[in-house]
């Protein structure tokens, strides 16, 4: 594989493994397991989750087309700030409304992940993509019945390879990001106990 094709594959994987797109995956799997998420008033709650965890953050994701011409450092800052506000709004909404506990746990996991990343990134460059994969992998292994969640584990290796190959992060930064994503998601699901 040539260096340029390897870079292109790594960039595609990084794009696909962006937090908003994995939020769609988690919400889709949550819906498969708990179809009642879209019954009655749950339909509105689920739609708001899609908007605030997936759609709006996708507009300001680090790899989004909208931000592509900005310097990387600026794109990272915009992504973290917009994700923080979007996730905070959804968490507050989830806590104030009578929504399904699974959506509350997902909301809390995304909020805790972005808060931890912002704090850590004040003094260390942890990988947001790695935490964006690790959190959903943890969530899918909690949500999905049997061993189905294990199918998501290769995403961890893919995103680690992609972030190191694009030279956005070194392996240690990717590992720190993954630990943050795992920890935040596990904490959220232990606090909410949605299942």
Q: How far apart are CA 127 and CA 66, in angstroms?
A: 21
d(CA 171, CA 94): 35
The answer for residues whose C-beta is within 8 angstroms of residue 53's C-beta and 6 or more apart is: 20, 23, 27, 86, 87, 90, 106, 107, 110
Residues spanned by the domain of 23: 3-192
Question: Could you give the number of structural domains in the chain?
Answer: 1
Structure tokens at 142: 């909690």
Per-residue pLDDT at 2? 65
- Check pLDDT > 80 for residue 64: no
> What is the phi-psi region of residue 165: left when phi exceeds 0, alpha when psi lies from -120 to 50, beta otherwise?
alpha
Give the mean model confidence (pLDDT) for residues 39-67: 86
Residue of 92 and 4 predicted with greater confidence: 92
pLDDT band at 1 (very low <50, low <70, confident <90, very high): low
């Amino acid at each position: 594989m040539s260096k340029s094709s390897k870079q292109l594959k790594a960039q595609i994987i990084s794009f696909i493994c962006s937090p908003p797109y994995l939020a769609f995956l988690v919400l889709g799997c949550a819906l498969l397991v708990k179809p009642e998420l879209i019954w009655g008033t749950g339909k509105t709650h689920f739609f708001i989750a899609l908007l605030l965890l997936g759609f709006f953050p996708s507009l300001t994701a680090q790899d989004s087309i909208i931000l592509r011409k900005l310097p990387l450092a600026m794109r990272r800052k915009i992504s973290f700030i917009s994700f923080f506000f979007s996730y905070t709004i959804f968490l507050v909404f989830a806590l104030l409304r009578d929504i399904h506990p699974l959506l509350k746990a997902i909301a809390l996991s995304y909020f805790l992940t972005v808060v931890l990343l912002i704090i850590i990134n004040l003094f260390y460059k942890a990988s947001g993509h790695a935490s964006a994969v690790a959190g959903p992998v943890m969530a899918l292994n909690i949500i999905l019945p049997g061993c189905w969640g294990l199918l998501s584990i290769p995403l961890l290796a893919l995103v680690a390879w992609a972030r190191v190959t694009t030279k956005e992060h070194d392996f240690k930064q990717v590992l720190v990001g993954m630990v943050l994503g795992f920890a935040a998601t596990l904490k959220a699901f232990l606090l909410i106990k949605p299942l």
